[in-house]
Copies of this chain bind each other. A is one copy, B any other.
């Protein structure tokens, strides 16, 4: 292996509009996430260069949004994934944050399940009602 050759292949990168299209966001939104500290792409000249790591973060961001979290809440959540080099006091904080979030998510899980039960009952009622009227086609 020649001297100084990088072990990892040339990492694939993305422009802001590639990310935007992939996630169905606008560039404006992605820059906003940067302002809020959710993404920190490097610069090449003045242009932003995104890596596969930013891609992964965006996936988490989208999931957080579907779950109804605020951007600030999502940032806190993303920080939990950065456990690598934390010191003990910081770790204790992370642990308690993670556990808080687990608790609210478990509440949310119950809410979703109960709402699904409700909605499926409604669905049954409506289907039934339509059947009695012989209007169940389509």
User: Interface size for chain A: under 10, 10 to 19, 20 to 34, or 35 or more residues?
Assistant: 35 or more
Contact call B102/A133, Cβ cutoff below 8 A: no
Question: How many monomers of this protein are in the complex?
Answer: 2
A26 lies within 8 A of chain B by Cβ: no
A92 lies within 8 A of chain B by Cβ: yes
Chain B residues, CB < 8 A from A129: 83, 86, 91
Contact call B115/A63, Cβ cutoff below 8 A: yes
Contact call B66/A133, Cβ cutoff below 8 A: no
Contact call A98/B112, Cβ cutoff below 8 A: no
Interface-lining segment among A13-21, A31-39, A120-128: A120-128
Out of B88, B105, B112, B126, which one reaches A91, CB within 8 Å? B126
Q: Which residues of chain A from 76 to 126 have any CB-CB distance to chain B below 8 Å in the complex?
A: 80-81, 83, 86, 88, 91-92, 94-95, 98-99, 101-102, 105-109, 111-116, 118-120, 122-123, 125-126
Chain B residues, CB < 8 A from A72: none
Out of B81, B102, B130, which one reaches A88, CB within 8 Å? B130
Chain B residues, CB < 8 A from A115: 63, 67, 105
